[in-house]
Chains A and B, each alone.
Chain A
């Protein structure tokens, strides 16, 4: 039985992942912003077989509560061994370009808050000398592009932070997994036109659970994004500039 802490538990990918753990009878601690939605997800997971489900409300901007929430989760789970951080927003790039406040808020939610939460989580796991940390970053962090580089830079910074954390925690035997989903059909992307490359949250969830089990460092989901992003990263800037992506 795993003891799983999920932050951003009402996101579509997190909820789908939590159902996979619930079906195995694992114990869960869920953190999210909206109390009614959190309660709905928790009720469902209990009925789907979770060993126990506890919840805590947290705003991504509520820096002063990060440590206490992590502590509460650790106490309720009697030591979490698996952590999934799944919260984030997808801002309107154009709106960010004309608003300093919006741009900084985006970096706060998608990057700084994750770093803030990972700090006490990593310390506890390092001290115990075991555990798995999975964090949802994005393919958008692999190369900045004009259509969403504010989001991309938050995720890119996050990916680098996770690289460093992985390096630090490797001797302690703690896994740090960077999850890089491509296009996922969720409420976050509701305004996008969907095509062949789009995946369902359940598919991403299965990929996350598998990558945690295999103690991977980084996973592109679905797998083909590894190759798409390889091409995008290697493309000379002169050609890249001509692409409207």
Chain B
């Protein structure tokens, strides 16, 4: 078995016993599974839970499909293989005046993964999800069939593949429409809010004049300060930027996995309080390079190791705008009461642009992402209680971040799951899919 490298998910929980085979060329036929009876296409492994794992079966590592194929610098349409990292795209297109139409909080994801999870970013309120900027892609099924998918051709397959968790076939390449920029810089503002109510007001106001907007919440704070935090908003700088900001130098890496989580009650409270008070003034403006703005965590490679050998769980929900306020307040106070905290609590109001995927997660409402060190049963109980709040509010949980939601809940959040099951390649499966669809 060439289960050589450790194929973990980003949360390093759960662990899976699996083998791996690779795909390096588009003209190759798909290798057969060497363990179990299914394969799962796998990119950079940045999904947090078990949607990038295939326990008891085989992973199909497509990171060798990492070639840029064509770029039209007039129209901004890029064709590349599905294993290309967003980082590699940016390195080539930013100097030519183009940027990704939508980007998640890390550039270490593959194009295939961005499609399979129909990812979103800080500009969701104006640009919608990744899938809206996907023009076409090619699927290779395990029976050898090749399908060109676009809004015009095999449109049903196209919709199933966007947000389809890699289950509809192996994505070989994609055409993406990029966005024009004048330079790699962002005019940003960081604005303090003192409670949740202020956040909603500030967010609504910011969505008018800013392409990018996301907020951090101090989730160790309770009472009057419940939901206090910092809102970060920005626009790409105009051509005549005065003093060019520094290009970020290098990265650091967490070299080893510590024997226990470095994230605990004490460090959480300290970090959150410091982070909130580090910014003295109510509002700070700056022009910065796009990397620290979009990808602050990419500066610390392998940061997921700080949670120790048991890993961590990320939890991201969306709740509809009508009940958003109350549900988010309820979730935050439950988290604060539990003391479980979250190092990074990220909140954003999604826009109303429809997501094109059959199983896309983003929908109108407010989305909140939290991470928790894995403390076993205690953590699971807390997360199940949070799910309950989301259920009451008719919201949903993000599969790309999930390792434990109940099957019944998933089916409620994604009522079209049976439709996707019909498009699933019978030779492809994942730990996540079996967990939420098999009884």
Contacts and interface: CB of A to CB of B under 8 A. Distances in A.
Interface in B1-38: 1-2, 4-5, 21-22, 24-27
Secondary structure class of chain B's binding surface, majority of residues:
loop
B69 interface: yes
Given A44-B69, A47-B92, A193 B26 contact: no
Interface stretch (A34-42, A63-71, A92-100, A226-234): A34-42
A193 B68 contact: no
A206 interface: no
A193 B1 CA distance: 7
Given A48-B92, A192-B2, A43 B22 contact: no
Most chain B CB within a 10 A radius of its CB, from A44, A49, A185, A190: A44
Interface in A171-221: 185, 187, 190-195, 198
A193 B71 CA distance: 38
Given A185-B4, A190-B2, A192-B2, A40 B92 contact: no
A193 B70 contact: no
Contacts of B24: 12, 187
Contacts of A185: 4
Contacts of A36: 25-27
A12 B64 CA distance: 9
A190 B71 contact: no
Most chain B CB within a 10 A radius of its CB, from A47, A193, A195: A47
Contact of A194 (B2, B26, B67, B81): B2
A219 B24 CA distance: 27
Contacts of A37: 25, 27
A40 B2 CA distance: 26
Given A47-B92, A185-B4, A198-B4, A190 B22 contact: yes
Contacts of B27: 34, 36-37
Contacts of A12: 24, 64
A37 B81 CA distance: 13
Contacts, number: 45
B4 A40 contact: no
B5 A194 contact: yes
B4 A194 contact: yes
B68 A48 contact: yes
A44 B68 contact: yes
Contact of B67 (A41, A192, A193): A41
A185 B24 CA distance: 13
B25 A193 contact: no
Contacts of B1: 193
Contacts of B25: 36-37, 40
Given A36-B27, A37-B25, A43 B2 contact: no
A34 B24 CA distance: 13
A195 B67 CA distance: 27
Interface in B54-109: 64, 67-71, 81, 92
A68 B66 CA distance: 32
Interface of B: 1-2, 4-5, 21-22, 24-27, 64, 67-71, 81, 92
Interface of A: 12, 34, 36-37, 40-41, 43-44, 47-49, 185, 187, 190-195, 198
Pairs of residues from A and B, 3 with the lowest C-beta to C-beta distance, nearest first: A194-B4, A44-B67, A47-B68
Given A12-B64, A48-B92, 18 more contacts: A34-B27, A37-B25, A37-B27, A40-B25, A40-B81, A43-B69, A44-B67, A44-B68, A44-B69, A47-B69, A48-B68, A49-B92, A187-B22, A193-B1, A193-B2, A194-B5, A195-B4, A198-B4
15 contacts: A12-B64, A34-B27, A36-B25, A40-B26, A41-B67, A47-B92, A48-B68, A48-B92, A49-B92, A190-B22, A191-B2, A192-B2, A193-B1, A193-B2, A193-B4
